[in-house]
Amino acid sequence: MTSNPSAVSVITGNKAAAEAARLARVQVVAAYPITPQSQVVEALASYVETGLLNAEFITVESEHSAMGVCIGASIGGSRVFTASSANGLAYMCEQLSWAAGSRLPIVMGCANRAMSAPWNVLNDQQDAMSQRDQGWIQLYCRDNQEIFDTFLQAFRLAEEVHLPVMVCYDGFILSHTVMPVEIPTQEEVDAFLPPFQSSTIVDLADPRNINPVTLANPRGNVEGTLCHGYMEFRSMMQRAHVDALTAIDRIDEEFASQFGRRTGGTTRSYLLEDAEVVLMAAGSLASEATVAADFLREKGVAAGVLGLRSYRPFPVEKVVAQLKNARLVTVFDKSLSYGYGGPIFIDTQAALFASEKRPQMHSYIAGLGGRDIKARELADAAQSSLDWLNEDKGPKEAQWLNLQL
Amino acid sequence: MTDSMIEIRWHGRGGQGAVTSANMLADAAYRAGFKGVMSMPTFGAERRGAPITASTRLSREALRFFSQVEFPDIVIVLDDSLMNSPATVHGLVPDGFLLVNSAVDPASLDTGVDYRIAVTDANTIAKEVGLMISGAPMVNTAMLGAIAKATGIIGLDHIETAMAGAFSKAAVSRNFEAACKAYEQTVCLFCSEGKK
Amino acid sequence: MVETRHCEQQTAMSWPCAGEGGRTGDWRSMKPVLDPAKCIAAKKDSIVCMLCWVFCPDNVITRTAPPEIDLEYCKGCGICMEVCPSQAITMVPENEGQPALNVEETGCDV
User: Chains C/B: 3 or more C-beta pairs closer than 8 A?
Assistant: no
B23 in a domain, yes or no?
yes
| Cβ proximity of C13 and A212 under 8 Å | yes
Task: Provide the shortest C-alpha distance from residue A183 to chain B (in Å).
Answer: 14
Q: Which domains does chain A have, with CATH numbers?
A: 5-192 (3.40.50.970), 267-400 (3.40.50.920)
Answer yes or no: is pLDDT of C3 > 70. Answer: no
pTM value is: 0.91
**Angle at which helices B18-31 and B140-151 cross, to 10°:** 40
> In this predicted model, what pLDDT tens digit does every residue of A187-231 receive, in sequence order?
999 999 999 998 787 788 888 888 888 888 888 777 777 888 999
Question: How many domains, chain B?
Answer: 1
Confidence (pLDDT) at B154: 96
Structural domain of C83 = 29-93
Confidence (pLDDT) at A171: 97
**A233·C16 Cβ contact <8 A:** no
**C14·A227 Cβ contact <8 A:** yes
- From the CB of residue B179, how many other CB atoms can be counted at a distance below 10 Å? 31
Question: Quick one: A198 exposed, middle or buried, by C-beta within 10 A (0-12, 13-18, 19+)?
Answer: middle
B196 in a domain, yes or no?
no
B88 in a domain, yes or no?
yes
Answer yes or no: is pLDDT of C96 > 70. Answer: yes
Which chains have 3 or more CB–CB distances shorter than 8 Å to chain B?
A: A
Confidence (pLDDT) at C1: 46
C54 in a domain, yes or no?
yes
| Cβ proximity of A397 and A362 under 8 Å | no
Which CATH number belongs to the domain containing residue B114 in this structure? 3.40.920.10
Confidence (pLDDT) at A144: 98
Interface contact C9, partner A, CB < 8 A = yes
Answer yes or no: is pLDDT of B148 > 70. Answer: yes
Taking the C-alpha atoms of residue B14 and residue B23, their distance in angstroms, rounded to an integer, is: 15
Question: How many domains, chain C?
Answer: 1
Interface contact C37, partner A, CB < 8 A = no
- Residues of chain C with Cβ-Cβ distance to A216 below 8 Å are none
Structural domain of B35 = 5-189
Task: Provide the shortest C-alpha distance from residue A294 to chain C (in Å).
Answer: 46
User: What mean pLDDT do residues C6-24 have?
Assistant: 77
**C7·A227 Cβ contact <8 A:** yes
Interface contact A211, partner C, CB < 8 A = yes
In this complex, the residue of B23, B65, B68 whose CB is nearest that of residue A178 is: B23
Which CATH number belongs to the domain containing residue C49 in this structure? 3.30.70.20
Q: What is the mean pLDDT of chain B?
A: 91
Interface contact A337, partner B, CB < 8 A = no
C70 in a domain, yes or no?
yes
Q: Enumerate the H helices of A76-143 as residue ranges.
A: 86-101, 126-129
Q: In this predicted model, which residue has the larger pLDDT, A53 or C8?
A: A53
C20 in a domain, yes or no?
no
**A372·B68 Cβ contact <8 A:** yes
Confidence (pLDDT) at A1: 40
Interface contact A233, partner C, CB < 8 A = yes
Taking the C-alpha atoms of residue C49 and residue A400, their distance in angstroms, rounded to an integer, is: 74
Task: Provide the shortest C-alpha distance from residue C19 to chain A (in Å).
Answer: 6
| Cβ proximity of A65 and A37 under 8 Å | no
With CA atoms as reference, report the closest residue to C39 among C4, C106, C89, C2. C89
Confidence (pLDDT) at B50: 84
B194 in a domain, yes or no?
no
**Interface-testing mutation among B31, B65, B71, B163, with chain A (most A C-beta atoms within 10 A):** B65
Confidence (pLDDT) at B4: 81
Chain C: residue whose CA lies nearest to A203: C15
pLDDT > 90: percent of chain A: 89
Confidence (pLDDT) at B46: 66
Interface contact A240, partner C, CB < 8 A = yes
User: What mean pLDDT do residues B19-31 have?
Assistant: 96
Q: Predicted confidence band at B3 (pLDDT cuts at 50, 70, 90)? A: low
- Residues of chain B with Cβ-Cβ distance to A173 below 8 Å are 40, 43, 66
Task: Provide the shortest C-alpha distance from residue A139 to chain C (in Å).
Answer: 22
**C20·A209 Cβ contact <8 A:** yes
**A177·B65 Cβ contact <8 A:** no
With CA atoms as reference, report the closest residue to C69 among C11, C43, C30. C30
Confidence (pLDDT) at C4: 58
**Interface-testing mutation among C1, C4, C6, C7, with chain A (most A C-beta atoms within 10 A):** C7
* 3-state percent helix, strand, coil for chain B, nearest multiple of 5: 40, 25, 40
ipTM value: 0.92
B27 in a domain, yes or no?
yes
With CA atoms as reference, report the closest residue to A197 among A233, A156, A153. A156
In the predicted model, residues of chain A with pLDDT beneath 70 are: 1-6
Confidence (pLDDT) at B112: 75
Q: Enumerate the H helices of chain B as residue ranges.
A: 18-31, 122-129, 140-151, 156-166, 169-185
Interface contact C1, partner A, CB < 8 A = yes
Interface contact C17, partner A, CB < 8 A = yes
